[in-house]
Amino acid sequence: MNKAFANPPEMAIPRFYTVATIAIAQLLATSLWFSANSAADDLRRAWGASVSDIGILTSAVQLGFILGTLVFALSGLADRFPASRIFPVCALLGAAFNACFAWLSTGIPSGAVFRFAVGICLAGIYPIGMKLIVSWVPKRTGSALAYLVAMLTLGTALPHALRLIGAAWRWEYVIGSSSILAALAALLIYLLGDGPHLSLRKKVPGTSFGAVLGAFASRDFRAAALGYFGHMWELYAFWTVVPLLIVRTALNVNLPNSKVSGLAFAIISAGALGCVVGGLFSHRWGSARVAAISLSLSGLCCFIFALAWQVFSPVGLLALLLVWGAAVVADSPQFSALSARACPPHLVGAALAIQISIGFAITIVSIAIVTGLFEPLGTKVAWVLLPGPLLGLLGFYPQWSRSVNPSQ
């Protein structure tokens, strides 16, 4: 490794704190992801934006993320430069583009451009955070990735908490707060550096689509990927419409915007607890069984909500949404761990990036459909989310069935 990238001994963080440091940095940096959604009501008033317009801003982030992950996967950039330098650079650029969205955009078209740029930068934060985890604790990927995705979930919910805290703030300040947090994340990772298990290659020729897609020849990788794709259909669309579901159901008892943000934060951040609990149970039950249970529970909550949300009291409805929020993302780190174990070592980074890219492409479709149909259908759009966990379980069956019957 180039000495210029080596950790200064006096600034290095003890290994005991490495997972926590990476997780906290992930929390702070990924607050950029849904920062615009936290100000959705303000944007609807300021720009005359509709629900589908807010969906366009969210999809712009997803599209940028897809492009960024493809570039990292196929160019070999992630293997050529230290992860502890890619992460800070992307976090700082993401903070800058997020601030530009807050202060320079004048409507949905210009706002979407800045959100797209934020999405590209997130490709150097979330997947690179996974690589940092592996470089420090390669034998604890299941539980370590659970903490990492837990922080991603909290990062997604964090803008709603900022909206709650800054109820009297202008929306530009609420969104700009995420830029400050992302800059702090850049500093944390810069000081931490890379783990002892990171290997860099000076000459990386890149990876062809054919070589990466060859990973799908593995039955286990294919099953984990299909489960992940079903999970992604539901996840980001659910996170996008959570505040809208609160407003359209019994939870909305003349609540001010700040209280809606507080409930949205609680429901989305419940997923962090789900990830941590799933990570703990993965040691006993294995990642496949935990992923299948989480996906099944999420689908069940979606079905119950779509079928009978009207019969629940506000407390019962909140409990249902909290369980749904916990289950909807708990399977994500387990799918990533299963995919990483199932593909050849030299393709792990590129194969995971392609899997993530396809998964986020799916979210663009589901977000567009759900936000486009929300105004005419209201809470009935929950039915649109249900095929995700159902098809995910079907595709994942070859692997999770063996976790129940190892003889298969």
Render pLDDT for 288-346 as a digit per residue (tens, 0 to 9): 999 999 999 999 999 999 999 999 988 899 999 999 999 999 999 889 888 878 877 66
Distance CA 384, CA 374 (A): 10
Confidence tier at 386 by pLDDT (50, 70, 90):
very high
Amino acid code (one letter) for 233: W
CA distances to 130, 132, 146, 147, 284 from 140, rounded to whole Å, are: 12, 12, 10, 11, 13
Tokens of 45: 């008033």
The predicted model scores a pTM of: 0.84
Q: Specify the residue for token string 């470089």.
A: 135
Q: Stretch 137-159: mean pLDDT, rounded? A: 79
So what's the pLDDT on residue 224? 92
Q: Stretch 110-126: mean pLDDT, rounded? A: 95
Confidence tier at 71 by pLDDT (50, 70, 90):
confident
So what's the pLDDT on residue 261? 85
Percent of the chain with pLDDT over 70: 84
So what's the pLDDT on residue 168? 73
* Residues 6+ positions from 163 with CB-CB distance below 8 Å: 38, 39, 174, 257, 258, 261
Confidence tier at 103 by pLDDT (50, 70, 90):
very high
Confidence tier at 210 by pLDDT (50, 70, 90):
low
CA-wise closest residue to 111 among 211, 42, 183, 166: 42
Distance CA 322, CA 310 (A): 17
